[in-house]
Amino acid sequence: MSETSHVTTFEGIRENTDGRVQEVTVEVLDAGKGAGARRYAANVRFEGGGNDIVGNPAATLDEALSDMSAHLE
């Protein structure tokens, strides 16, 4: 393995634009202090279809979550 990350998983639900409830899984990856500007990333997976989102690496957790959020809009 050339890269490893600590992964924290959150599961929840959201309402689609058509009013249906959809299960959502958010994964926050932390590659550690040595990863510098590529320390954090956030991914979103949608149960029952939908385009999964693989976020871009970022130096801070706030930046990683903001990147993921921008893909949801």
- What are the residue ranges spanned by the domains of the chain? 6-72
Percent of the chain's residues with pLDDT above 70: 99
Give residue 73's pLDDT band: very low, low, confident or very high (50, 70, 90).
low
pLDDT, position 69: 81
pTM of the model: 0.82
Answer whether residue 38 shows pLDDT above 80: yes
pLDDT in tens, 9-36: 999 998 878 888 889 999 999 999 999 9
Query: Using an 8 Å Cβ cutoff, are 28 and 37 in contact?
Result: no
In terms of DSSP bridges, do strands 6-15 and 53-54 run parallel, antiparallel, or are they unpaired?
Answer: unpaired
In terms of DSSP bridges, do strands 21-30 and 53-54 run parallel, antiparallel, or are they unpaired?
Answer: unpaired
CA 2 – CA 61 distance, rounded (Å): 22
Summarize the confidence of residues 31-59 as an average pLDDT. 92
